[in-house]
Amino acid sequence: MNTPVVISLFIFLVLIFAIGFWSSRSLKNATGDSFLQEYFLGGRQLGGFILAMTMIATYGSASSFIGGPGVAYTEGFGWVLLSMSQVATGYFVLMILGKKFAIMARRYKAVTLIDYLKGRYQSKWVVLTAAFSIIIFLFSAMAAQWVGGARLIESLTGLNYTTALFIFAVSVLVYVIIGGFKAVALTDTVQGVVMFGGTLILLIATIIAGGGIGNIMADLTAENPNLVTPYGAEGGTESDLRIFLLDTCRCRSCWFTTSNRSCDGL
């Protein structure tokens, strides 16, 4: 067992639980609709920085730190190029959908996405389909996150997988149930700062350990020249890349409908 890591993990968990209990104080005097607003929406008073950190921490999941780097190591820059297409998602969510959803949600007095769909479409089938889809796909996504978190704790501390999974699951459930969305957002903020700082330190350490970016690129090229091309480790053609860029731009043009740009010139 790695004692320093276990101690660090324990301190971090204490901090997470403290945030959960602190967040629960705003729920004590809340009743009815006020309680729902506080528990599920954090009272709609969390601010831009917390929103940004929540989005970063949400994106920075097990796939970002475990699965994604493994695939990038195997497939090369082609995978990195593909994953970079997700960057536009944040702008899409906040700039295009965010404000509109906020206005409409207040109009419908919606607390959850299902409330919004019910108010917008007035159809029980839309509500049932959306609820069923969320349950199925959210469970699938969360299963991957829990496995990833447990594997990370297992590798860092030396604890067995079952114990690591139990620690991860209990930690998440406790602060979410006790503190509601405010606890989630605040812990996401802490975790977002930690992940950003850790990623920056890891990047610098990797460049130093690899002898500089030029040396790293040379080693990758010597191992497989395709790793440093946009086509991936297995190679590809310019047409493949053009198709990918064309599809990406088409999606972007659908999102930003006010733009007159197109990819017809590609």
Structure tokens at 160: 């067995």
CA–CA dist 105, 116 (Å, integer) = 6
CA–CA dist 214, 123 (Å, integer) = 58
Model confidence over 81-119: pLDDT tens digits? 777 777 777 777 777 777 788 888 888 888 888 888 888
CA 243 to chain centre: 27
The answer to pTM > 0.75 is: no
pLDDT at 30 over 70: no
Contact yes or no for 158/7 (Cβ under 8 A): no
Q: How many CB atoms neighbour CB 53 within 10 A?
A: 23
**Residue with the larger pLDDT of the pair 21 and 260:** 21
- Annotated domain spans of the chain: 3-209
CA–CA dist 158, 130 (Å, integer) = 41
Model confidence over 199-253: pLDDT tens digits? 899 889 999 998 998 898 888 888 888 888 777 777 665 545 554 555 444 444 4
Q: What pLDDT is stored for residue 254 in this prediction?
A: 40
C-alpha dist (Å) from residue 169 to 166, 176, 189: 5, 11, 19
Q: Which of 82-86, 142-146, 148-152, 185-189 has the lowest mean pLDDT?
A: 82-86
Contact yes or no for 68/144 (Cβ under 8 A): no
Give the torsion sign (CA, 178, 181, 182, 184): positive
Residue 228 DSSP class: G
Structure tokens at 180: 């509601």
Rounded percentage of the chain residues whose pLDDT exceeds 70: 84
Model confidence over 43-76: pLDDT tens digits? 777 777 887 788 777 777 767 777 778 888 888 8
